[in-house]
Amino acid sequence: MSTLILNADAQPTNFLPLSVIPWQEAIRYIVLEKVSPVYYYDEWKVRSQLWETNVPAVIMLTEYQKPKRTVRLTKRNVYLRDNYICQYCGEPLHDKNCSIDHVIPVSKGGKNRWDNLTTSCRLCNSYKSDKFIKPKIMPYKPDYWELVQKRKTRGYDIKHSSWLEFIG
């Protein structure tokens, strides 16, 4: 199980990916007094010889940390920017059948940059090969909040109902 981490302002420290940690790490932070628990998993306790506690579902940092709002260039973020849709044939895709395509092929000097990478199905990527074919929507560098909104629309894997209060 995972624990959601909130900043001192009661907002998740990150949305891309969602700021979650293993429950063991959350307990370690509680013991070190770096966080305070907000919600617990019902009827789930862990015990040692001298100590017993409920497992936290949501924790909040005791000190505010300035969040990073830069967008990292990753496969998942490119897929998210393109709404998991092949930019050549328009087919909706899933993680397993998505691929990244270079609009300007690497063999012709194309770089791994936001404005050169696009989501493609494997069939279109194979067909395109090292040719230049213009995608339906030209790639661009997205804004952090644009990606967050798209991620929220796709939904998160919610481990505890209290998470919904903070994710929105």
- The structure's pTM equals 0.84
pLDDT tens for each residue of 13-62: 999 989 999 999 999 999 999 999 999 998 889 988 888 899 999 999 99
Q: Where in the chain is the domain with CATH 1.10.30.50?
A: 75-142
CA-based torsion, 141, 143, 144, 149: positive or negative: negative
Beta-ladder partners of 6? 12, 60
* CB atoms closer than 10 angstroms to residue 148: 20
Task: Return the CATH architecture of domain 75-142.
Answer: Orthogonal Bundle (1.10)
**Can you tell me whether residue 48 is helix, strand or coil?**
coil
**Can you tell me whether residue 56 is helix, strand or coil?**
strand
Distance CA 57, CA 156 (A): 15
